[in-house]
A and B are shown apart, each in its own frame.
Chain A
Amino acid sequence: MANLSGKQLAGLLVALLVAGLFVRGPLPEILVPAEAIASVAGFTLTNTILATWVTMLALLLAFRAATSDMQLIPQGLQNLLETAVDGLHGFVASVAGERYAHHFFPMVATIFLFVITNAWLSLLPGFGTIGLIHHADHGGVTLTQAGPLALIVSGAQKVEPNAHLPEGTPVGVLVPLLRGANTDLNTTLALALIAMTFVELWGIRANGFFGYGSKFVNLGRVFRGEIAFGLIDVFVGILEAISEIARVVSFTFRLFGNMFAGEVLLAVIVFLIPWALVLVFYGLELFVGFVQALVFAGLTLVFATMAVAGHGEGHESGAEHH
């Protein structure tokens, strides 16, 4: 590649795109749960956990490279990541105010970076396409043997579990080594639980345990004898508690739903239309990944800001329905 001239490179790209007009991907296998790669001492290592480690490694290496030799006049990666951190910090400060910005920032920024890195890395070649072939009895697709590798090419046939095939036809299921971590409910639930736990902790820290708790259990007016309003307070408290749980659920399924849908969309589109046209959808998924990262981080930030502001002012509106 290095000794190709720009013109040759452009010609190669055009040739690839033209070829891409005639090549399509194989029919994908779509599974909601993450697939197991290996089992170590009772713990099942899934491809999403593997992808999570890739994400962590990518983030940590990038930040290490950027911060190992920091210059007052930034360059390259340091400049890029400083811009990102500064932008996130400005975002946090603009929503939560300077007073709480430094409390919220690390968690909000980590959520944003984790989600967006998960999403964007899963668009790289290799995610979802390289993996182990499970030679299953219960069907799969026909494989093309190429030396030590088994390929699923665009002409691969779907094989029903009890289909009769000519002897020696290899059949199997691809278990990708890497699958976008956001497409695993365990990941999104973990994120949602951590985010809401931090929100509650910040609320308790800002308002005191009882101060914050009175948001959920408010018996003050019942004890003072104002039974009617007191009961309304109690009811509102119950609603608050339910909404807190609903936030966890909506956090979990919003991210999972968007990301899993994106994955399925790409897989299906690759099968349906020539891959040169699929690029458009990759662009779309880049955007979706950014938006979902922003939504998750932003909502965490908003919930945190409402929690520290004390109850009584600002009940969450439709902000969480995206």
Chain B
Amino acid sequence: MEALGINIPGLVAQIVNFLLLFFLLSRFAFKPILNMLDQRAQRIKESLEAADRVRQEAAQSQVNIQSQLDAARREGQAIIEQAARAAEQLREEVREAARREAEAIVARAKADFDLEREKAIEELRRQFADITILAAEKVINESLDRARHQRLISEVLEQSRLN
């Protein structure tokens, strides 16, 4: 043992040295470093999770925006269709009103015309009767009174019209 240099004081000294180093390193070196490593691993994990979450949220909002766009487009389409329908309806109404007015005008014109014709025929008939009476007066020289003549002619005319 002595030849190899093993001796109790030296052995004890090295044991004490090593245990001291062991204590100091575990307490003041390994612990903070391992804590730091844990902390960093934790941070990285959180960051990755946060990144994932953000990516998911982005995808989600993309979908949301797309659906909103779709909805807006559909709505716009609906509004346009409605407007077109309203315009069509309006045109229809206007056309209808115009037609009705035209018909009314025509009907009124026709009524006026019928009235005028009626009046003209009446007038004509009266004049014709007068002319006929005048003619008959001239022919028979007042053999009959005027009122009788008038009635006779009217009867004749009435008969001829009925025929």
- Chain A residues within 8 Å of B, Cβ to Cβ: 32-34, 42-44, 46, 48-49, 52-53, 56, 59-60, 63-64, 66-67, 70, 72, 74, 81-82, 85-86, 89, 105-107, 109-110, 113-114, 181, 184-187, 189-191, 193-194
Contact = CB atoms under 8 A, between A and B. Distances in A.
A194 B29 contact: no
Interface stretch (B10-18, B68-76, B138-146): B10-18
B25 A34 contact: no
Nearest to A62: B29
Given A43-B13, A106-B30, 13 more contacts: A34-B5, A34-B10, A52-B14, A56-B21, A60-B29, A81-B29, A86-B33, A105-B30, A106-B22, A110-B26, A186-B10, A186-B13, A194-B15
B147 interface: no
27 contacts: A32-B5, A33-B5, A42-B9, A46-B10, A48-B10, A49-B10, A56-B21, A60-B24, A63-B28, A64-B28, A64-B29, A72-B40, A81-B33, A86-B37, A105-B30, A107-B22, A109-B30, A110-B18, A110-B26, A181-B14, A185-B4, A186-B6, A186-B7, A186-B11, A186-B14, A187-B14, A190-B18
Contacts of B11: 186, 189-190, 193
B15 to A, nearest CB: 4
Contacts of B5: 32-34, 184-186
A48 B32 CA distance: 30
A193 B14 CA distance: 11
Given A187-B14, A194-B15, A113 B25 contact: yes
A154 B52 CA distance: 69
A109 B25 contact: yes
Nearest to B29: A63
A32 B4 contact: yes
A109 B25 CA distance: 9
A67 B37 contact: no
B102 interface: no
Contacts of A34: 5, 10
A44 B10 contact: yes
Which of A48, A53, A81, A186 has the most chain B CB atoms closer than 10 A to its own CB?
A186
Q: Tell me whether chain B's interface is mostly helix, strand or loop, or mixed.
A: helix
Contact of A70 (B4, B24, B36): B36
B32 A70 contact: yes
A85 B14 contact: no
A189 B6 contact: yes
A220 B11 CA distance: 38
A113 B9 CA distance: 24
B33 A185 contact: no
Contacts of B9: 42-44
Contacts of A114: 18, 21
B18 A194 contact: yes
Contacts of A63: 25, 28-29, 33
B34 to A, nearest CB: 7
A185 B2 CA distance: 11
Given A44-B9, A49-B14, A63-B25, A33 B37 contact: no
A74 B29 CA distance: 15
